[in-house]
Amino acid sequence: MSTKTAASNPTSGSTTNERTTNSADARYACDDEQLQVLRQKSPWKEDPLYFKSVDVSPTAIMKMMTHCHSGVEKGIKNGGKPIEVMGLLLGRPDPTTPHTLVVTDAFPLPIEGFETRVIADDADVTNYMISLGESLEKTRKEKFMGW
């Protein structure tokens, strides 16, 4: 999330350390308490069609597009068709907009696929996903929510 620090107040001349959120980034900010309450209620467990919309952050979109482009380039470089790529989506339900998932980030996986098969049971890939998940649990409030 982008934040900017206000250096001074032009009307009073005082210096502050207040952090303000850019309005474009406000969509991806979240109140921790509201998120915890929503996760405890978990209405999506009762209704498999609970979520009706998804908001994807610009960061996640760029990471997905870059990863897809690398699959195209790698496949063509090897004289064939683009290879299929896979990654994990990080996000959360939105407590302020019911029925909406918010994708905040994306992480490419070191997996290649071809049309009908993707081999995702490689020990290196599994260990990578586990270590990524453990490190993100310590630093982020979002969880893996798709791939």
Digitized pLDDT (tens) for each residue of the chain, 147 residues in all: 332 323 333 444 444 444 455 555 666 777 889 989 999 999 999 999 999 999 999 999 999 999 989 888 888 888 888 888 888 999 999 998 889 999 999 998 888 776 666 666 678 888 888 888 888 888 888 888 887
Residue 7's pLDDT is 36
What per-residue confidence (pLDDT) applies to 123? Answer: 80
pLDDT attached to residue 76: 85
Span between the terminal Cα atoms of the chain, in Å: 22
pLDDT of residue 6: 34
CA dist., res. 43 & res. 65, Å (int): 32
**Nearest C-alpha neighbor of 100 from the set 52, 43, 141:** 52
Does the model's pTM come out above 0.75? no
